[in-house]
Chains A and B, each alone.
Chain A
Amino acid sequence: MPETPAAQPDRRRRAAGAHSPATHFFAGPDEVELAEVDLLDESTPPASLWKDAWIKLRRRPLFLVSAGLIVLILAVALFPGLFSKADMNTCYLADSLKGPAPGHPFGFDLQGCDIYARVIHGARPSVLVGVLAMLSVLVLGGAIGAIAGYYGKWADAILSRVGDIFFAIPTVLAAIVFLQSMRDRAGVMGVVVVLAAFGWPQMARITRSAVLAVRGADFVTAARALGVSRTKILLRHVMPNAASPMIVTATVSLGTYIVAEATLSFLGLGLPITMRSWGWQIGAAKDVLRHSPEVLLWPAGALAITVLAFIMLGDAVKDALDPKARR
């Protein structure tokens, strides 16, 4: 169990030398088998859900591969210049649709732009939108779900119904409608806001059920008995214990938000065209798909790998945190 004041096991104080049998003529409480089992080894730090999960995770190949990919993707998104020296906006028609050349490992697109440079530079907008949308949903959906689950009664009734209404609206459809009307002014924040505004209900539902499960726990009752305020209980005791399903959902959904951004950019509705996100690159490449399909494969492949990495990570974290799978 995670650490909470109410759940803190009694820690029996004992001196380091207490183990020595020489000072006793009969089996002391420390020497019986039961005591060995019960013994708390104070030389190790206290166990926790997160620590256990981490120990488990770092042995899993799925986690190692996905984490490695994500580190790479983040590095590309943060420092594209390290990976590609070529300017993605220097395009010569003479190079149009040419194959790989020294310094241009992926070849050139219809406009004669270096595909490798564009794929590298396309990572930032995609990852940025994904991360920001995920964080916004985490905060918005988390807050709404926590309030609904913890306070219950009419707050739950209202917030859950509102969530149901939003849940019934497909996120991408809603985003198309809104972005169409705020065209040009959208930018990164516009896309993030629209995705968060219609993506929060799932997070709210997950949070609500997690909070409901924790709300009745003994340590919550104990904290209340000690006179801790309700808000403090929610923030200090309930939320940390409800966090694991939220984090799993958020990690998996990060991938889906990157896909949503690519979908919108493909449709010409997402990020400004000058950001050259992967979705836009895929959209541009479809025009030459009939005779030069390889132009499409590079940005599409980068998008697929990124999304896969986040979904795999979410999966690995879920397995590690799942109480049923714990030994």
Chain B
Amino acid sequence: MAVVGALAAAALALGACSNNSDGGDGGDAGKDASAGIIKVNRTEPQNPLISTNTNEVGGGWILDMIFSGLAYYTADGSTELDVAESIESEDTINWTIKLKPDQKFTNGDPVDADSFINAWNYGASVMNDQLQNSFFVEIKGYEDVNKMIDSGEKNEDGTAKLIPDPDQGQELSGLVKVDDLTFTVELSNPDPDFTLRLGYSAYYPMPISAFDDMEAFGQAPASNGPYKLASDDAWEHNVKIDLVANPDYTGPRKAQNGGITFVFYETVEAAYQDLLSGQLDIVDSVPDFKTFEQDLGERAVNQASATFQAFTVPDRLAHFGGEEGKLRRQAISMAIDRAAITETIFSGTRTPAKDFTSPVMPGYSDSIPGNEVLEYNEAKAKELWAQADAISPWEGTFQIAYNADGGHADWVEAVLNSIHNTLGVETAPAPYPTFQESRTAITDRTIQTPFRSGWQADYPSLYNYLQPLYGTGGGANDADYSNKTFDDLLVQGLAQATPAEAAKYYNQAQELVLEDLPAIPLWYANVTAGYSENVGNVIFGWNQVPLLYQVTTK
């Protein structure tokens, strides 16, 4: 099997982000002195700008602008080659990747086979503790660079505390350099979708100099994308980051504007006010769904997207483990009147969820057996809750944590009220001031309440919604959910030749998570956004990311 040229797009963007943003990439105008800077709202990145350690959209969209990977995604979700000249495989296990010649990072380092191999090895090695580590799990040799040993100490819960084995190698045996512009990748299992992933930021290259001082690199990375940092001090933390078009970029995403300034906002309201007053050019979410189309007229965007929203209730929380937890999750799910909330709070800009994916995905089904657990059913909810109480009586307050900078307060209140009214339990919202703080508490596992979660698809595949979030060891499996049967069904789905065949297995796997509900699905989001009179050609892709590199200024 050979995959050359156009590939289906793949990029996993960690969704804890209904806080949509605008990302984009350079277009084809070249360096145009008259082209202006566009200002776009964003949240402060959680981590330094290191591609293998960024799994949220605050930093992800900046990375997408300043780096180019082997491939990129177009507005309709198809994958096109960017840095790569060809990506080929006979058996979907062994892949040969050839790069276009004469590409450079902004510091002069060449973009060659080593810049990918080094970056991927860095991301895959457990020694570097990178958030995107699991994106390299498919590559042969992953286990050999992720060995853990018993430290001799105990965790708080009495289990043995594991630490990385200091004596392991740090290179994936599946990555082999052929020459400066060619390398091969050997996977552990066949994966026809491998190329779909390669536009995602976890697989971006890094220059050789990055490994000398990763900390400095993360603050002001030398990059190879359509944009680059305006200066080494371009990232003003919690304020903004200035990007300018990269004149040396020769790929297909040439910038059609002079640059992008991502302005970091704490609230959607503030960003929206700045848009109305002309201080900001593009916002990727709006505070008030009732009025934004009236305010903005033709400059309002309201279209279907691939964002799935939910809240996660980890097993480890008190009263949510085992059989009792399963009953409680089902009861809570059935206590939420999704239809009323989407209609009242979101003015119809959300669609109640019927599964864990999105209606724009091929293979989506709104009739998966067991999805009646997502219907509002007061009597059944009370009954299940009472059964759980019989196992162990409920005590305390049911909370949902969220980031206060993303416009989530209203729906969290509404969901909690619905649960309170139906089940009679005390409920309370648990806000974190910023997305960054909430993600840190979630990735540290220090959070002690259920928390909002979401997933913004990056390539059109159901697998993309299921494995990272609920697969054992998945990159965004914040609930630490683990179900052998579920994992096996996903593996079987991957082995199928066509997406339609694969979807059968994926939807079968969904029946399991519909029962266990590691996350409680809420709804699918439309992209609701807007832009100013100063810019034109603002097109939001199917994944609710605007193609920023195509945006023109007036």
Contacts and interface: CB of A to CB of B under 8 A. Distances in A.
A273 B399 CA distance: 12
A93 B428 contact: no
A268 B404 contact: yes
Given A89-B420, A180-B433, A274-B428, A290 B288 contact: yes
A268 B420 CA distance: 23
A94 B340 contact: yes
The interface residues of chain A, by DSSP majority, are classed as loop
B269 A287 contact: yes
Contacts of B337: 93
A288 B429 CA distance: 19
Interface in A28-48: none
Interface string B415-432: 001101100000011010
Contacts of A291: 288, 290-291
B386 interface: no
B414 A93 contact: yes
A92 interface: yes
A291 B287 CA distance: 12
B344 A288 contact: no
B269 A286 contact: yes
A288 B421 contact: no
Contacts of B341: 93
A288 B431 CA distance: 20
A110 B345 contact: yes
Contact of A287 (B287, B404, B417, B421): B287
A284 B287 CA distance: 12
Contacts of B410: 110-111, 284, 287
A93 B428 CA distance: 17
B428 A273 contact: yes
A48 B426 CA distance: 55
B234 interface: no
A183 B433 contact: yes
Contacts of B433: 180, 183, 268
A152 interface: no
A218 B535 CA distance: 78
B449 to A, nearest CB: 11
A112 interface: yes
Nearest to B411: A111
B288 A93 contact: no
Interface in B490-508: none
A117 B431 CA distance: 23
Interface in A45-77: none
Contacts of B344: 93, 96, 110, 112
A237 B40 CA distance: 65
A199 B67 CA distance: 50
A273 B295 CA distance: 30
B413 A111 contact: yes
Contacts of A90: 420-421
Nearest to A269: B433
Contact of B290 (A91, A92, A111, A290): A290
B522 to A, nearest CB: 14
Given A93-B337, A284-B409, A273 B288 contact: no
A273 B418 contact: no
A291 B295 CA distance: 12
Nearest to A284: B409
A284 B404 CA distance: 12
A98 to B, nearest CB: 11
Contact of A111 (B269, B414, B428): B414
Contacts of A91: 413, 417, 421
A113 B414 CA distance: 10
Interface in A94-124: 94, 96, 110-113
A204 to B, nearest CB: 33
B344 to A, nearest CB: 5
B429 A273 contact: yes
B269 A93 contact: no
B339 to A, nearest CB: 10
Interface string B336-351: 0100110011000000
A183 B340 CA distance: 32
B402 to A, nearest CB: 11
Nearest to B409: A284
B417 A111 contact: yes
Contact of A273 (B269, B291, B421, B431): B431
A59 to B, nearest CB: 48
A123 to B, nearest CB: 20
Nearest to A273: B429
Nearest to A272: B428
Given A268-B404, A287-B287, A290-B290, A92 B421 contact: yes
A273 B344 CA distance: 22
Contacts of A287: 269, 287-288, 410
Contacts of A268: 404, 431, 433
Contacts of A290: 288, 290-291, 295
A268 B406 CA distance: 13
A91 B341 CA distance: 12
Contacts of A286: 269
Nearest to A180: B433
A288 B410 CA distance: 10
Contacts of B418: 93
Interface in B98-131: none
A323 B433 CA distance: 50
A287 B408 CA distance: 11
Given A111-B414, A183-B433, A274-B428, A93 B287 contact: no
A180 B433 CA distance: 8
A291 to B, nearest CB: 5
Given A183-B433, A273-B428, A287-B410, A93 B340 contact: yes
A268 B403 CA distance: 11
A134 B197 CA distance: 60
A91 to B, nearest CB: 5
Interface string B301-343: 0000000000000000000000000000000000001001100
Contacts of A94: 340
A113 B413 CA distance: 11
Nearest to B287: A287
A24 to B, nearest CB: 84
A274 B418 CA distance: 16
Given A111-B414, A291-B290, 11 more contacts: A92-B417, A93-B340, A93-B344, A93-B345, A93-B417, A110-B410, A111-B417, A268-B431, A273-B431, A290-B291, A291-B288
19 contacts: A89-B417, A91-B417, A91-B421, A92-B421, A93-B340, A93-B344, A93-B345, A93-B414, A93-B417, A110-B345, A111-B413, A112-B344, A180-B433, A273-B429, A273-B431, A284-B410, A284-B413, A287-B269, A287-B288
Closest 10 CB pairs of A and B: A290-B291, A93-B340, A91-B417, A274-B428, A96-B344, A93-B344, A111-B413, A268-B404, A291-B290, A273-B429
